[in-house]
Amino acid sequence: MQVSLKAMNEKSFSDYRKLSIPAYAKDNVDSGRWQESESLERSTLDFDRLLPEGVVSKNHYLFNIIENESSKNVGYIWVKLEDNIRTKSAFIYDIEINKSFRRKGYAKSGLRCIEKVVAELGATSLGLHVFNHNSAALALYNSMGYQTLSHNMQKTIVR
């Protein structure tokens, strides 16, 4: 399954925000990190903080994942390039394959594409975050050679 990455324009970025902000809010609620009553507001604030200039925010690269044969948009990926002291690293903030295209190899192909992009930008590593309840994503990332570097833990405080 071959895909390519196409840089988002203002229209596709607007469409992406409409889908991704509620999805990120839901993931945080499902994981137990956020209360549902505040989740959309928190998700919106996170997006606005991370992408203050929208699709042209510095060091952020937002792409649609395009299936080469049909030219259909099958998903999206957002990565940030980070300058470290002597190296560059990259971090995937978001990857999503549209529901009707899942379990067909598009995520793996998209991840391979973004690896090439960040390598060309000088990155020597590529990281990401995955919610613990997302077993399908965990299996995908493990199969592609990603390693767990740390665990975030939380305890609810009862008053």
Domains of the chain: 3-143 (3.40.630.30)
In sequence order, which residues have a C-beta less than 8 Å from that of residue 139 and are 6 or more positions away?
A: none
Q: Residue 152 has what pLDDT?
A: 80
Do 133 and 31 meet the contact criterion of CB atoms below 8 Å apart? yes
- The larger pLDDT score, comparing residue 121 to residue 156, is at 121
What is the Cα Rg of the chain in Å? Answer: 16
Percent above pLDDT 70 for the chain: 99
CB 100 within 8 A of CB 134: no
Give the per-residue pLDDT at 134: 85
pLDDT at 141 over 70: yes
Give the separation between CA 33 and CA 11, rounded to whole angstroms: 31
Q: Which residues of 32-57 are buried (b: 16+ CB within 10 A; e: fewer)?
A: eebeeeebbebbeeebeeebeeebee
Q: What is the mean pLDDT of the chain?
A: 94
